[in-house]
Structure 1
Amino acid sequence: MTQFNDWCLSIDEPIGNHFRRVMTGQAANLATGIQATAAIVPGHYASEESVARALSRLVKPADRRAHRGQASDNEEYPFR
């Protein structure tokens, strides 16, 4: 688990029966924050290829053919 206290200041603010934590990275500890974040991101997110494979398995073959190559200029369609 990332030790945010090593590179962030945090303040808890009450909101009803809950709390909101506001975390602010400290410039003097930026390198520590970058290293800590880089270490945990790969385990928390799937690669683009993994997501594309999973979505391909969920789409019917006829739908996949209908959508192939129909991405807009500003997005990439994973079912090619």
Structure 2
Amino acid sequence: GVILGSFQDCGPLEDVYAIVKEAFRQSAVPILAGFDLGHGANNLTVPVGLQAAMDTKDGSLRFQESATSESL
């Protein structure tokens, strides 16, 4: 899937979302928008390479495994 973070100085969000929707128009890839990711003031850390599940109905992202080791 595709997760869109926050956008700054990119024009109206509706325009940004329209561009992304058009880019993935022929794909069945789910798209979630409005996450506090990216280069803005609110920037959550998201681990790369973990299995995750996206739910487009409730707009959630759930990681299926831990990002840290249980033992050091």
TM-score band by shorter chain is: under 0.3
| Higher Rg | 1
Q: Which has the higher contact order (CA 8 A, sep 6+)?
A: 2
What is the TM-score of this pair, normalised by structure 2?
A: 0.21
Which has the larger share of helix?
1
